[in-house]
């Protein structure tokens, strides 16, 4: 499978799945297991899993507009003291300036995905794709380790 991001470190995994809600459990499981294999604490692994899940839900709902017409590619890298996760889709390119969390005082269901992502990750950026089509989201999390005696 072709890597979606050039990185000198090999990915922990590279996964391509249909952009459907019934695939989110698989993505969550793989992200959490990979984080734990890197020595992440349970809390760190849960934060990573939550952020990736929220971002994938946004891709399904907003980028693909709920239509079962595309894929999500997930790549995860362990680099020094952090984990980078890249999410790529082939949906119409979004303007990152238009993506922002809603006001937390606006109490209603849903709509907090970007707030959650930004609160649990140290870095969240959109990066251009070489093809110019689709979207590439990079999320970075500093690892908090589980120490075993």
User: Per-residue DSSP letters for 25-67?
Assistant: HHHHHHHHHHHHHTTB-HHHHHHHHHHHHHHHHHIIIIISTT-
Q: What pLDDT shows up at residue 1?
A: 41
Flag whether the pTM goes above 0.85. Answer: yes
120, two tokens: 């649990």
- Residue 2 domain-assigned? no
Here the tokens at position 143 are 């690892």
CB atoms within 10 A of CB 122: 10
* Cross-sheet strand order for the sheet of 13-18: 13-18, 71-79, 82-89, 135-142, 123-127
Rounded Cα distance between 113 and 20, Å, is 17
Element (H, E) at 113: helix 113-120
Residue 7 lies in a domain: no
Structural domain span for residue 103: 13-142
What is the rounded CA–CA span in Å between residue 24 and residue 30? 10
Q: Please report whether residue 42 resides in a domain.
A: yes
1 falls within a domain: no
In angstroms, rounded to a whole number, what is the distance separating the alpha carbons of residues 34 and 116? 21
C-alpha radius of gyration, the chain, whole number: 15
Does residue 3 fall inside a structural domain? no
Output DSSP code: residue 90.
Answer: -
- 124 part of a folded domain: yes
pLDDT of residue 103: 66
In a domain? residue 111: yes
Distance CA(76)–CA(78), nearest Å, equals 7
Task: Specify the CATH number for the domain of residue 71.
Answer: 3.30.565.10
Provide the residue-wise pLDDT of the chain in tens; the chain has 149 residues: 445 666 678 999 999 999 999 999 999 999 999 999 999 999 999 999 999 999 999 999 999 998 988 999 999 999 999 999 999 999 998 887 777 666 666 665 566 778 899 999 999 999 878 777 899 999 999 999 876 55
Domains: count for the chain: 1
Q: Confirm whether 39 is domain-assigned.
A: yes
């Amino acid at each position: 499978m072709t890597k979606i991001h050039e990185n000198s470190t090999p990915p922990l995994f590279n996964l391509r799945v249909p952009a459907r809600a019934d695939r989110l459990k698989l993505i969550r499981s793989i992200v959490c297991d990979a984080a734990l294999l890197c020595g992440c604490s349970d809390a760190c692994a849960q934060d990573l899993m939550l952020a990736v899940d929220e971002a994938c839900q946004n891709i399904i709902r907003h980028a693909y507009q709920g239509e079962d017409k595309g894929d999500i590619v997930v790549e995860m890298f362990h680099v020094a003291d952090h984990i980078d996760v890249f999410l790529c889709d082939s949906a119409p390119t979004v303007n990152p300036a238009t993506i922002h969390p809603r006001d937390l005082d606006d109490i209603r269901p849903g709509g907090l995905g970007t707030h959650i992502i930004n609160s649990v990750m140290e870095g969240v950026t959109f990066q251009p794709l070489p093809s110019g089509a689709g979207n590439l989201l990079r999320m970075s999390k500093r690892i908090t380790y589980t120490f075993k005696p």
